[in-house]
């Protein structure tokens, strides 16, 4: 009787370990929600007012969407400047001014004047 109980418990523990391992492997390959990147795309740099007075600062406009860059170099901080850039969309947003929704933040990996 004791031997059967032990075998039953051993079987259940083995199944549990296999299920946990399977879950861990399947979750490992999922990408973050905003795991988007663009390479060598045309964009427009816009200045949307000083954030200290409810403006939104420097924005990157690409394909009818504006983004807030976290690392726009001062060499490119010129309103209405056309550029070619590569970037990654981050999981954070920049909330500014009176906007109800913030702008997705991006990290620029490469930028040049167009």
DSSP collapsed to 3 states, 39-96:
EEEEEEEEECCCHHHCCCCEEEEECCEEEEECCCCHHHCCCCEEEEEEEEEEEEEECC
Smallest CA-to-CA distance from 106 within 94, 114, 95 is with 94
Mean pLDDT of the chain: 84
Domain ranges of the chain: 1-30, 37-113
Smallest CA-to-CA distance from 37 within 71, 86, 104 is with 86
Confidence tier at 30 by pLDDT (50, 70, 90): very low
Q: Please give the pLDDT value at position 32.
A: 44
Confidence tier at 29 by pLDDT (50, 70, 90): very low
Q: What are the tokens at 114?
A: 């167009």
What global pTM score does this model have?
0.67
In the CATH scheme, what architecture does the domain 37-113 have?
Answer: Beta Barrel (2.40)
């Amino acid at each position: 009787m004791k031997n059967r109980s032990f075998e039953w418990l051993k079987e259940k523990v083995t199944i549990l370990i296999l299920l946990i391992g399977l879950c861990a492997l399947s979750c490992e390959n999922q990408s973050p929600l905003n795991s988007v990147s663009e390479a060598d795309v045309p964009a427009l740099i816009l200045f949307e007012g000083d954030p200290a007075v409810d403006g939104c600062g420097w924005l990157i406009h690409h394909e009818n969407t504006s983004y807030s860059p976290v690392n726009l170099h001062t060499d490119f901080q010129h309103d209405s400047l056309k550029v070619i850039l590569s970037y990654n969309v981050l999981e954070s947003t920049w909330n500014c001014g009176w906007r109800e929704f913030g702008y997705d933040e991006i990290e620029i990996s490469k930028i040049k004047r167009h």
